A and B are shown apart, each in its own frame.
Chain A
């Protein structure tokens, strides 16, 4: 993860095609073009896992199918807790085979078509459900010294509870943190940086102009007509969090990609 800080390289979210797409081949081409663009620019491609609960194809199967290059410092695979056990094992196996080094482990967005992993699937007893903590423990147990695992931090959740959860994730073996999208200074994130000095922290920057879509995440109403300049906000976030890396979600590849080049100075 140090690579991204030293080289000032963004983590850029890339969404794989949804399972119900009517233009699969077109969407796959779009995905591979974006993936290669990110890799060739030296950035890190972060491939989501059924984002927002939409059932999608897995990044690993697209990498495998199209033999896409995997540069260990430039790929992060998201992995949530909504999988069949055999699918989870397939994803991890392919990650190892392809040389994927970083996984972002999240409790996750569910899907009506997907069941949540059960404690017995991962050989746990005495827990009611599988969260990112159990998933991290499972991955480190089954694939020791193979992956570097990251976790999410949500500064909009009750603070005490969120830090308590984070402690458990770190104890389980998490080695980097990505926050929920920030729009400016956030005291909880400042505290996070202070409390975890040795752990790389990435601030999520919301790159969509549709700010109102964040209402549910931040827990208050963001009006639909509010003007929002993602690039300007990204520059502000750089000033506020000079010690952090940055994760760009919903980046516009046509309109914004070239504009982010000189934002991290």
Chain B
């Protein structure tokens, strides 16, 4: 089966700054990393290939620098990587982004499964995975914590809920978004990293994926960010526990239990 993993480059810092004019994230001068949730998507793609065969292709939409995360994915063991980069893609909201990714998936062809991280840590919307499924008219399962079975026609997954989980069976092709509980991501090996430096990464533009200009970039984005404000800071309080080490330990245990933290 051909599996596509969608990944995103995000600012490494938690101290994300927003351009007050454009309401977009300021990326200049900020170290960029692979979105942490996407590492689980990559790992799952590779594990599924190891279990069931096939190939894993990773795609990312972003500036030319996003090539770095695609090389990281290659060093982890994905088979191919494609960058979607063009000035006309700039300013795309989650709807336009998921349209662009869906066009790329169409262009790749014969894709059985798309895997995304549950959300990116910069925008935190969790909309792109479901958006891809909507554009492709495919089934989807979000917050997947385990893939129980995969065949040529269906996938059975365990979806995480606040109160437990449910098990869904979806016809393929389909899109899933995954949570951290799904696996333990591997880290790149030196051999893999050195090999990845020599790989070609094709860059696709709107014309390569037959994307309609009216559906990409700012023009194709129905949402507008009207205002951005930092969330109110959380109220924290501290309590000092005194006594001998044993007394402190007992008090701490009591305190944690009384707050249902243990």
Contacts and interface: CB of A to CB of B under 8 A. Distances in A.
B33 interface: yes
Interface string A23-39: 01000100000000000
A113 interface: yes
Given A20-B33, A24-B197, A113-B39, A65 B187 contact: no
B189 interface: yes
Interface residues of A, number: 17
Contact of B187 (A28, A62, A113, A158): A113
Contacts of B194: 24, 65
Interface string A52-89: 00010110011001000000000000000000100100
A115 interface: yes
A35 B245 CA distance: 44
B123 interface: no
Contacts of A113: 39, 185, 187
B37 to A, nearest CB: 12
B186 A87 contact: yes
A112 B184 CA distance: 11
A19 interface: yes
Contacts of A55: 187
B256 to A, nearest CB: 15
A19 B197 contact: no
A240 interface: no
B193 A24 contact: yes
B261 interface: no
B188 A19 contact: yes
Interface string B183-210: 0111111110110010000000000000
Interface residues of B, number: 15
Given A20-B33, A24-B197, A114 B187 contact: yes
Contacts of B36: 112
Interface of chain A, helix or strand or loop or mixed?
Answer: loop
A61 B191 contact: yes
Contacts of A57: 190, 193
A213 to B, nearest CB: 21
B244 to A, nearest CB: 12
Contact of A61 (B33, B189, B197, B245): B189
Nearest to A118: B184
Contact of B190 (A65, A112, A114): A65
Contacts of A84: 184, 186-187
A19 B191 contact: no
B187 A19 contact: yes
Interface string B88-131: 00000000000000000000000000000000000000000000
Interface string B15-53: 000000000000000000100100100000000000000
Interface of A: 19-20, 24, 28, 55, 57-58, 61-62, 65, 84, 87, 112-115, 158
9 contacts: A19-B188, A24-B193, A24-B194, A28-B190, A57-B190, A61-B191, A65-B190, A84-B184, A84-B186
Given A61-B190, A65-B190, 15 more contacts: A19-B187, A20-B33, A24-B193, A24-B197, A28-B190, A55-B187, A57-B193, A58-B190, A61-B189, A65-B191, A84-B187, A113-B185, A113-B187, A115-B184, A158-B245
Smallest CB-CB A-B distances: 10 pairs: A61-B190, A57-B190, A115-B184, A65-B190, A84-B184, A61-B189, A113-B187, A62-B190, A55-B187, A65-B191
